[in-house]
Amino acid sequence: MRAAVVQLLATPDVAAAQAAADRLVREAAAAGARLVLLPEKWSVLGRDDDVAAGAQPADGTAVTWARETAVELGIDLFAGSVALRREDGRQQNTALHVSPDGRLTAYGKLHLFDADVAGTRYRESDREVAGDGLVTTTLADDARTSVGMTVCYDLRFPELHRALAVRGARIITVPAAFTERTTQAHWEILLRARAIENGVFVLAANQHGEHAPGVRSGGRSMIVDPWGTVLAEAPDQDEAVVLADLDLDRVDAVREGLPVLRQRRADVAAALAGLPAGELAAAWDTAAPEASTAGGGTAPGVTGDASAAAGPGERA
């Protein structure tokens, strides 16, 4: 299967951003890509007021364009993410997958970017509403390949990617607008780690360039295989289409050789899943870890009822 990730520069000019996305998606499809991924907030990006002004309803031009284009080109179009405007006036950063028959799957970004980077404070939670669940979707290929959907800052939360892999994802999509600073320092490391940990292909489309004065994304859009090898990477420029052929049998080969998904400790996973929200760290007694015993028992340092039933499962 040929896949493409699109690198572009969105600004407060919504019409220009959509025109660029349309041109680059068509370029990818013409090169044989059957799966195409756009970056986070490809339809508008800039300062907070710019994004708010360019946010759209669920039946706005961005979603309408994505549905029409996927059907016309006969592709699985992962239309990055779009700032959708809710009736209460707040936004939700929503990733979209449109299949060739026009079926739409949406995922609300789970982890909002509230962080301080290089002297700049980001507080997405001031204006955005987080999603409320994991989402996998299915490609239109013969194997009905499962894809896990994420957005940008989600990349820093490995438990999300593990849950997607356990639920069957063989590909994980990462539309992003990683800051220039964090792209340089962390982007490739995190993408390769998520691929290696879960034996999945990772498709990552990042924005590149200056969206507004002082607001920059770092690019380096790439495709990573389940072994952690970078198959293709975008050059240092505002627009690029990056292509790679995905051998999905590679997922099975890597997972057979390194069977980490099979070897997960169910007791540890259950103990962690049984914790109240926000109490993940409490499962690990780092001050006084206990030695494991030959006769079994709980994992070193794990507290809680190991027999508990497992729960539901950036801009950086």
Report the CATH number at residue 28: 3.60.110.10
Q: Is the confidence at residue 313, as pLDDT, over 60?
A: no
Within a domain: 278: no
Question: What type of residue sits at position 32?
Answer: G
Flag the least confident range among 44-48, 93-97, 204-208: 44-48
**Given 41, 109, 180, 233, which residue is catalytic?**
109
Residues in the chain: 316
pLDDT for position 304: 31
Q: How many other CB atoms are found less than 10 A from the CB of residue 235?
A: 12
Residue ranges making up the domain that contains 236:
2-257
Within a domain: 265: no
Q: Is the confidence at residue 172, as pLDDT, over 90?
A: yes
pTM for the full predicted model: 0.87
Give the sheet arrangement for strand 222-224, strand by strand. Answer: 136-138, 146-149, 171-176, 201-206, 222-224, 230-233
- Output 42 or 265, whichever has higher pLDDT: 42
Within a domain: 287: no
Within a domain: 293: no
**Given 128, 152, 180, 314, which residue is catalytic?**
152
Active site residue 68: no
Within a domain: 312: no
Active site residue 40: yes
Distance separating alpha carbons of residues 149 and 173, to the nearest angstrom: 5
Within a domain: 114: yes
- Output 218 or 264, whichever has higher pLDDT: 218
102: left (phi over 0), alpha (psi -120 to 50) or beta: left
Within a domain: 142: yes
**Average pLDDT, rounded, for the chain:** 88
Residue of 267, 278, 280, 279 lying closest to 308 (CA atoms):
267
Q: How many domains does one find in the chain?
A: 1
Within a domain: 288: no
Q: Work out the average pLDDT over 33-40.
A: 98
Active site residue 239: no
Q: Is the confidence at residue 197, as pLDDT, over 80?
A: yes
Q: Work out the average pLDDT over 32-44.
A: 98
pLDDT for position 278: 62
pLDDT for position 282: 56
